[in-house]
Amino acid sequence: EVQLVQSGAELKKPGESLKISCNGSGYTFPYFWIAWVRQVPGKGLEWMGMIYPGDSGTTYSPSFQGQVTISVDKSINTAYLQWRSLKASDTAMYYCARHLKSDAAHDYWGQGTLVTVSS
């Protein structure tokens, strides 16, 4: 069974750093892209970027370029989304999702990680 399991909810202060994770199982992890999607409470879905675990190649949405870092450790089937300095506006639910090709739909999604940034 294909599963994407994300790390738990986080409560952080502005200026702090954070790295959340997405662990894939039930399929050949290096062969599928992993994307990250943001959802601000009460708002729609925003595509942030994607990574190919096979070669760690990444593509970011212009809206998120320079704001976050997407990385992967294929030895443990895990992708990451990282912030160096969080802002209150980063408060959101973050989903990871896999896709077979860079131009393919997201067929499996993680359960989401809620990140709350508040002083």
Partner 1 sequence: DIQMTQSPSSLSASVGERVTITCRASQGISNYLAWYQQRPGKAPKLLIYEASTLQSGVPSRFGGRRSGTDFTLTISSLQPEDVATYYCQKYDSAPLTFGGGTKVEI
Contacts with partner 1, residue ranges (CB under 8 A): 35, 37, 44-47, 49-50, 59-63, 95, 97, 99, 102-107, 109-112
Taking the least distance from each CB to partner 1, the nearer of 85 and 111 is: 111
Taking the least distance from each CB to partner 1, the nearer of 59 and 89 is: 59
Work out the burial of residue 118: count CB atoms within 10 Å of its CB; fewer than 13 is exposed, 13-18 middle, 19 or more buried. exposed
CB 60 within 8 A of CB 48: yes
Give least dist CB 110 to partner 1, A: 7
Taking the least distance from each CB to partner 1, the nearer of 10 and 46 is: 46
Give least dist CB 105 to partner 1, A: 4
Taking the least distance from each CB to partner 1, the nearer of 25 and 85 is: 25
3-state secondary structure of 7: coil
CB 96 within 8 A of CB 34: yes
Give least dist CB 99 to partner 1, A: 7
CB 108 within 8 A of CB 5: no
Give least dist CB 26 to partner 1, A: 15
Q: Which residues contact 82 (CB under 8 A, 6 or more apart)?
A: 17, 18, 19, 20, 68, 69, 70, 71
